[in-house]
């Protein structure tokens, strides 16, 4: 008998007496009759319910006191599934699918109940056989991590891999990526690989591939269609456009944020519509102002310096935090200020010290949309006099990543400011 993770007391005794283990297929007679796979419980969860995964894929909790009968009816689903062979049509274009992990590359392990990054890139391809009718896919695993575990060194590894196939026969690159930090990765790739000769698409999923209403397959299919049928260059994020399955959005990699925790349409382009909409077999070009990317000469600069802080100002913010960043020898601070780009006057002295220590100071806004405009109010003008640089319409997270990239590719204060204000990868937009 396994650990029966999360089950205690009378429930645990009941399961043991019936020789039932996590992962077994069971039938429970209560007010209704339920059949499903016994799932583990969170250790901190209440002790009065048994959790089953139904055939539909949804989990339910059944109150222990209402259970009339429980019986084991099967060993449950194996966590190892056989692979199928996908025949390639050599007439189709070739794309490279790189897997980094995340929900799109995850499935439930029915022995533990955990959603784990267990699918390899090849398994992901095999799980969506429709892709084989659109393109030939070469698949490779770079790493298998949830995106909250990805660090700037992972960005470098992804960028170097993509750069290595710049002159290959691939029509484009798909990067399977977790959604939580996907917009950070897309921003870095946009700067480091500016002018790349082929489209690069990061694609994720809000719901794992074995769950009901998963968006994994539709997002992957749409990404493949985009790479093979659109002449765009640049770095994009492809995710659901809305809660329907009819439209998938293609967002420019430096103009996108994850704006919802769980919706399939969590990602949104800030300040304009998505660059493209993939609607069944049609790709709608929204004339996004990224056309200059098409003619840029490819000049990879795959370097960064992580000595950059993103500081969200709030009432009661302790200026000592800025003093600490100075002591830690940070080279840049990106402020996420209020409104048009303000912080309280209690911050001024520490900001002045940061400037005197040669730290680049950039200002973005906490507001989801709009531009920084620091000449409107006296407080903004005071901050300009201290030396803060307004970053116009740049998204705070993008400004953070860009500063890391800029510091990795420049040493002089003048060059750092110049590069931060230069539109390198469509990170600025005109309202």
Q: What amino acid positions are annotated as catalytic residues?
A: 103, 179-180, 258
Instruction: Determine whether 283 is exposed, middle or buried from the number of CB atoms within 10 Å of its CB (0-12, 13-18, 19+).
Output: middle
Cα 30 to Cα 313: distance, rounded to the nearest angstrom: 53
Cα 231 to Cα 275: distance, rounded to the nearest angstrom: 13
Q: Count CB-CB contacts under 10 A for residue 99.
A: 25
- The CA distances from residue 397 to 40, 257, 309, 394, 402, in Å, are 36, 9, 10, 8, 9
What is the token pair recorded at 86?
């996908």
Torsion of CA 33, 38, 42, 43, to 10 degrees: 110
**282-285 sheet: strands from edge to edge:** 136-141, 94-99, 172-176, 199-203, 234-240, 247-252, 276-279, 282-285
Provide the residue count of the chain: 431
Cα 138 to Cα 375: distance, rounded to the nearest angstrom: 52
Q: What is the DSSP string of 210-260?
A: TSTT--HHHHHHHHHHHHHH----EEEEEEESSSSSSEEEEEETTSEEE--
Cα 69 to Cα 66: distance, rounded to the nearest angstrom: 9
Residue labelled with tokens 């780009």: 341
């Amino acid at each position: 008998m396994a650990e029966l993770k999360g089950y205690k007391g009378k429930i645990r005794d009941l399961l043991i007496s019936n020789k039932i283990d996590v992962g077994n297929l069971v039938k429970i007679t209560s007010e209704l009759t339920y059949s499903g796979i016994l799932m583990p419980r969170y250790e901190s969860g209440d002790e009065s319910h048994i959790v089953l995964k139904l055939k539909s894929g949804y989990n339910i909790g059944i109150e222990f006191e209402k259970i009339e009968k429980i019986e084991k009816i099967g060993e449950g689903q194996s966590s190892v599934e056989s692979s199928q062979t996908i025949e390639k049509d050599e007439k189709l274009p070739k794309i490279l699918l790189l897997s980094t992990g995340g929900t799109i590359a995850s499935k439930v392990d029915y022995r533990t109940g955990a959603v784990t990054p267990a699918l390899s890139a090849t398994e992901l391809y095999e799980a969506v056989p429709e892709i084989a009718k659109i393109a030939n896919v070469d698949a490779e695993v770079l790493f298998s991590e949830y995106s909250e575990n990805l660090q700037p060194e992972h960005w470098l590894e992804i960028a170097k891999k993509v750069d290595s196939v710049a002159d290959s026969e691939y029509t484009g690159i798909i990067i399977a990526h977790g959604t939580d930090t996907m917009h950070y990765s897309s921003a870095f790739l946009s700067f480091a690989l500016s002018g790349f000769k082929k489209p690069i698409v990061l694609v994720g999923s809000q719901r794992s591939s074995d769950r009901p209403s998963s968006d994994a397959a539709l997002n992957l299919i749409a990404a493949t269609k985009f790479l093979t049928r659109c002449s765009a260059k640049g770095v994009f994020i492809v995710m659901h456009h809305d809660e329907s399955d009819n439209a998938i959005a293609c967002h420019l990699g430096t103009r996108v944020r994850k704006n919802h925790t769980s919706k399939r349409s969590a990602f949104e382009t800030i300040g304009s519509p998505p660059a493209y909409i993939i609607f069944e077999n049609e790709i709608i070009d929204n004339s996004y102002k990224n056309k200059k990317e098409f003619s840029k000469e490819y000049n990879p600069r795959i370097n960064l310096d992580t000595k950059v802080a993103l500081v969200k100002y709030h009432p009661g913010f302790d200026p000592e935090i800025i003093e600490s960043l100075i002591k830690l020898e940070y080279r840049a601070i990106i402020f996420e200020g209020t409104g048009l780009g303000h912080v309280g006057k209690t911050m001024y002295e520490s900001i002045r010290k940061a400037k005197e220590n040669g730290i680049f100071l950039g200002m973005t806004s906490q507001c989801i949309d709009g531009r920084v405009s620091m000449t409107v109010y006296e407080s903004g003008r005071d901050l300009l006099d201290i030396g803060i640089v307004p970053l116009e319409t740049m998204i705070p997270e993008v400004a953070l990543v860009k500063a890391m990239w800029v510091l990795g590719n420049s040493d002089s204060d003048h060059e750092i400011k110049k590069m931060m204000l230069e539109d390198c990868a469509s990170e600025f937009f005109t309202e």
